[in-house]
Amino acid sequence: MRVGVIFGGRSVEHVVSVRSARTVVEGLRTAGHDAVPLGIAENGAWLAPDVAARTLASTDKALPVPQGEPRATLRHLLDARLDAAFPIVHGTFGEDGCLQGLCEMLDLPYVGCGVAASAVAMDKLLSKRLFEDAGLPVVAYAVVTRAAFAADVAAALAACAALPEPLFVKPSVGGSSVGCKLVKRRADLAEAVRFALQFDDTVLVEQGVKAREVEVAVLGAAGALQASAIGEIVPGGEFYDYEDKYLKDDAKLLAPAPLPDDVAAELKRHAVRAMDAIGGAGMARVDFFFLEGERRLALNEINTLPGFTSISMYPRLWGLVGVPLPELCDRLVRLAVERAEGKRRLDAGLRAFVASQK
Ligand SMILES: Nc1ncnc2c1ncn2[C@@H]1O[C@H](COP(=O)(O)OP(=O)(O)OP(=O)(O)O)[C@@H](O)[C@H]1O
Ligand SMILES: [Mg+2]
């Protein structure tokens, strides 16, 4: 199949996406697919496949930024004559349903979660509400909106009064730990909320937990998702912050994570239920906290386009359970095509119904 690997993008995770694309292109080609690299520069412009291919073949960290108006460059996607797309643009405009919506408009099968699940997973408040609804464990939290904070700081923060210290503050929509702060003294809470409000209009104030960070990869069609082995991130600092993710190299990745069997089994069950709760399909990495002392798990978040670099957890965790990279990429593309066929069948059913009413 002719598969467009869409990478780069406008988010702060552009450089990670370039590395992810190198792995995905290699996996697809080894599996026998014709992988067409389609890059999105940091200004949102789409690049011709040969330009994107040059970046992938080099040691460049980012795609070149072309001059001119980005919108007309969408022709590179339209001209690529793809059978399917493999979007691997992490973060905003890539992981949040925007790119998925574009593929839907073009009737182009695409790897990973659909529009709604992608958008919900990107919004930590929306996804938490669905997790709670499904009876999944999450850490205690309160919500502070920009409007409430602007109207009356003390009243807005009163919602957090029941949460014990330390507190953990984060923008509801965000990523890469941007805007996150661990607050040890309640006197510092307002400042941390103000900081997080620079990145979103809604801020979550969570109970700060001292926990191990464990994650599991899921793969499969809706209702038939499978969970991989489990991985663990051991942050270099107090928490897994922006510096730790991109600037330093102190965090350790353990795969598999040393966990008791019953905890591992529960984590896998929770991961699949969490994906079902947001209507997710295809792939995702589901991140948890393991509060070892209490032997308790709490679901943190779902990443619908997880890191796919040669050392990233998602491909590594599948490798551990006997799904090598080429097979993984191939299965993801097949799932994308099957899901698109299912949607087309539904659409045909709808059309037939409407026609029968005339
Ligand atoms: N309630 C919490 N208590 C303690 N530490 C937390 C808590 N929530 C998050 N953290 C720490 O902050 C890091 C980032 O938080 P989170 O994963 O929620 O957002 P994000 O990483 O910005 O999102 P994404 O993973 O999509 O980029 C976590 O990996 C963890 O180290
Ligand atoms: Mg995270």
For 283-316, how does the pLDDT look when each residue is reduced to its tens digit (9 = 90+)? 999 999 999 999 999 999 999 999 999 999 999 9
Amino acid at residue number 69: E
The confidence band for 244, taking pLDDT boundaries of 50, 70 and 90, is confident
- Active site annotation includes 242: no
Query: Which of 138, 168, 246, 312 to mutate for ligand 1's pocket (most ligand atoms within 8 Å of CB)?
Result: 168
What are the CA-CA distances from residue 260 to residues 235, 253, 265, 316 (Å)? 21, 18, 9, 20
Report phi then psi at 125, rounded to 5.
-70, -50
Nearest bound ligand to the CA of residue 183? 1
Which residue has a Cα nearest atom 15 of ligand 1?
177
Better-scored residue on pLDDT, 249 or 310: 310
Residue 9 has pLDDT above 90, yes or no: yes
Q: What is the percent of the chain with per-residue pLDDT over 90, rounded to a whole number?
A: 94
12-26, 149-163, 177-191, 243-257, range with the lowest pLDDT: 243-257
Q: Sign (positive/negative) of CA torsion 112, 117, 119, 123? A: negative
Residue 122 has pLDDT above 90, yes or no: yes
Q: What is the percent of the chain with per-residue pLDDT over 70, rounded to a whole number?
A: 100
Structure tokens at 232: 């663990």
Average of per-residue pLDDT across 53-73: 96
175 lines ligand 1 (CB under 6 A): yes
CB 46 within 8 Å of CB 76: yes
Catalytic residue selected from 26, 44, 176, 334: 176
Query: Which of 90, 300, 312 to mutate for ligand 1's pocket (most ligand atoms within 8 Å of CB)?
Result: 300
The confidence band for 56, taking pLDDT boundaries of 50, 70 and 90, is very high
The confidence band for 247, taking pLDDT boundaries of 50, 70 and 90, is confident
SS3 of the chain: CEEEEEEECCCCCHHHHHHHHHHHHHHHHHCCCEEEEEEECCCCCECCHHHHHHHHHCCCCCCCCCCCCCHHHHHHHHCCCCCEEEECCCCCCCCCCHHHHHHHHCCCCECCCCHHHHHHHHEHHHHHHHHHHCCCCCCCEEEEEHHHHHHCHHHHHHCCCCCCCCEEEEECECCCCCCCEEECCHHHHHHHHHHHCCCCCEEEEEECCCCEEEEEEEEECCCCCEEEEEEEEECCCCCCCHHHHHHCCCCEEECCCCCCHHHHHHHHHHHHHHHHHHCCCEEEEEEEEEECCCCEEEEEEEECCCCCCCCCHHHHHHHHCCCCHHHHHHHHHHHHHHHHHHHHHHHHHHHHHHHHCC
Mean pLDDT of all residues belonging to the chain: 96
pLDDT at position 323: 98
Catalytic residue selected from 287, 300, 330, 339: 287
Measured CA to CA, the distance from residue 198 to residue 172 in angstroms comes to 11
Which residue has a Cα nearest atom 8 of ligand 1?
168
92 lines ligand 1 (CB under 6 A): no
Measured CA to CA, the distance from residue 62 to residue 306 in angstroms comes to 18
Domains, the chain: 2-111 (3.40.50.20), 140-207 (3.30.1490.20)
Which residue has a Cα nearest atom 26 of ligand 1?
175
171 lines ligand 1 (CB under 6 A): no
11 lines ligand 1 (CB under 6 A): no
What residue has token string 């591992």? 264
CB 170 within 8 Å of CB 204: yes
Average of per-residue pLDDT across 108-112: 98
The confidence band for 77, taking pLDDT boundaries of 50, 70 and 90, is very high
Average of per-residue pLDDT across 145-169: 97
- Active site annotation includes 212: no
94 lines ligand 1 (CB under 6 A): no
Residue 79 has pLDDT above 80, yes or no: yes
Structure tokens at 243: 């510096």
The confidence band for 242, taking pLDDT boundaries of 50, 70 and 90, is confident
Task: Give the distance (Å) from ligand 2 centre to CA of residue 303.
Answer: 8
128 lines ligand 1 (CB under 6 A): no
Average of per-residue pLDDT across 251-262: 95
Nearest bound ligand to the CA of residue 207? 1
Query: Which of 167, 240, 253 to mutate for ligand 1's pocket (most ligand atoms within 8 Å of CB)?
Result: 240
pLDDT at position 39: 98
User: What would the pLDDT profile of 168-219 be if each residue is shown by its tens digit?
Assistant: 999 999 888 999 999 999 999 999 999 999 999 999 999 999 999 999 999 9
Measured CA to CA, the distance from residue 27 to residue 32 in angstroms comes to 9
Catalytic residue selected from 11, 13, 112, 312: 13
User: What would the pLDDT profile of 14-52 be if each residue is shown by its tens digit?
Assistant: 999 999 999 999 999 999 999 999 999 999 999 999 999
